[in-house]
Amino acid sequence: MTKIQDPMLSFEEELNMYLAGNSIDCVIFGYEHQELKILLLQWKHHPVWSLPGGFIRKDEDMNKAANRVLIERTGLKSVYLNQFRTFGSVARSELHKNAQFMRLDLFKKSEVFSAKTIAWLTKRFITTGYFALVDIEKTSPKPDFLSAKCEWKSLKDTPPLLLDHNDIVQKALEHLRIRLNYLPIGASLLPHKFTMQDLQKLYEAILQKPLERSNFQRKLLKLDFLNRHEKQMTGAANKAPYLYSFDMIKYEKLIKQGIGFSF
């Protein structure tokens, strides 16, 4: 949902600034305490959770609308944000129409929505999914005007979401998993320096399965985008693991080219 941009406009007047029938939804991934998390909103007048999303202004590029939503909800600028899929099934508009709380609970309670506004909001929408990988510590989650909460939730404990948003999260996750096979991932999710175990835990959180340590280390080192630094001095020196960081020049090159092989 969008934020009211101009307090002098009614919601109905404001909706007129947006393209009807198109929306964007953002799956914002973060990583904390060895868990993959996503940023979710809980609605004000109804306990349902949803993805941060919004509409596209008539004078706004769709990609900029996604960026605006990301900035508004997380406070983060210049973040890796990418389209991953557009969802245009008829079934999702049926969900829309049938969402009792949208037609009745929320709209009737709030009493700010005209019949025209409700018709606008419940028509068939085609939504483009974007995904972002962000550093949770750098975010300051902020609800929009329709929501009471904006919080990081562990992906494992994702609640039932509005409409087809659980499906959108699932598709974003599949996208991220496939990317793990051919792109470097982690620069936005891990601290600057990390151990090989930290990196493995991140990959395990994304893949949701345990990986074999020496095999993982061998594969990752072979890709040659990690710099090795000093040892992490916390326990016995002989058992202390090395710290690594991403070689951002090689990392960026692999982001463009893929790590399969390049011709």
Q: Is 119 in the site for a copy of itself (CB under 8 A)?
A: no
Backbone angles phi, psi at 233, to 5 degrees: -90, 85
- CA geometry: angle 258, 259, 261, nearest 5 deg: 95
Q: How far is the CB of 61 from a copy of itself (least distance, A)?
A: 5
Q: How far is the CB of 95 from a copy of itself (least distance, A)?
A: 13
Nearer to a copy of itself, 106 or 173 (CB): 173
Nearer to a copy of itself, 60 or 247 (CB): 60
Neighbours of 151 (CB within 10 A): 13
Structure tokens at 17: 């600034």
Helix (H, G, I), strand (E, B) or coil at 7: coil
Instruction: Give the residue, chosen from 105, 207, 217, 253, that forms a contact with a copy of itself under the rule CB under 8 A.
Output: 207
Beta-sheet pairing, 242-246 with 226-231: antiparallel
DSSP 19-37: EEEEEEEEEEEEEETTEEE
Binding residues for a copy of itself restricted to 140-199, rule: CB under 8 A:
178, 180-183
Binding residues for a copy of itself restricted to 44-103, rule: CB under 8 A:
56, 58-63, 83, 85-86, 88-91
Q: Please give the Cα distance from 114 to 122 (Å, whole number).
A: 12
Q: Is 224 in the site for a copy of itself (CB under 8 A)?
A: no
Site residues for a copy of itself per CB under 8 A: 19-22, 56, 58-63, 83, 85-86, 88-91, 124, 126, 128, 178, 180-183, 203, 207, 209, 211, 216, 219, 257-263
